[in-house]
Amino acid sequence: MEKSIEKIEELAKNTSLYFKHHVSLIKLEAAEKTSKIMSNGISLIFISMIFFLFAFFFGLALAVMLQYFVGELYLALLIVAGFYGLIGVILWKFRNKLIRIPIMNSILHELFKDSK
């Protein structure tokens, strides 16, 4: 009878330890996935800032170059601004297909990568 009680106590202790370790594992996996998603987001923001600076200076250089063809700097700046405005309208119109859905798929892929 005492052996049965000892085995039940040992089983309860082992079960408790198993659940504690399982909860710790779930927390670590969640932290890993969260850190991957955050690092992807931060790198996307950083790359977007670099691209913005490139586009800004490229547009400025293009406007200065266009000045020689149209004669006035303000007209060249308006042409470049119109070009960027057109790109902005196109991106806004197709934002779900070009931006939102790929980002959501990337996040979901990262979350459920190990679930297969």
Q: Which residues fall within 8 angstroms of residue 91, CB to CB, at 6 or more apart?
A: 98, 99
* pTM strictly above 0.85: no
Helices (H), the chain: 2-70, 73-93, 95, 101-111
Could you tell me if 38 and 106 are in contact, meaning their C-beta atoms sit under 8 angstroms apart? no
What token pair was written down for 27? 């927390």
What's the pLDDT at 115? 61
Task: State the residue range of the domain holding 67.
Answer: 2-115
What's the pLDDT at 107? 81
What token pair was written down for 7? 């085995």
Q: How many domains does the chain have?
A: 1
> 116 to each of 22, 33, 112, how far by Cα in Å?
19, 15, 8
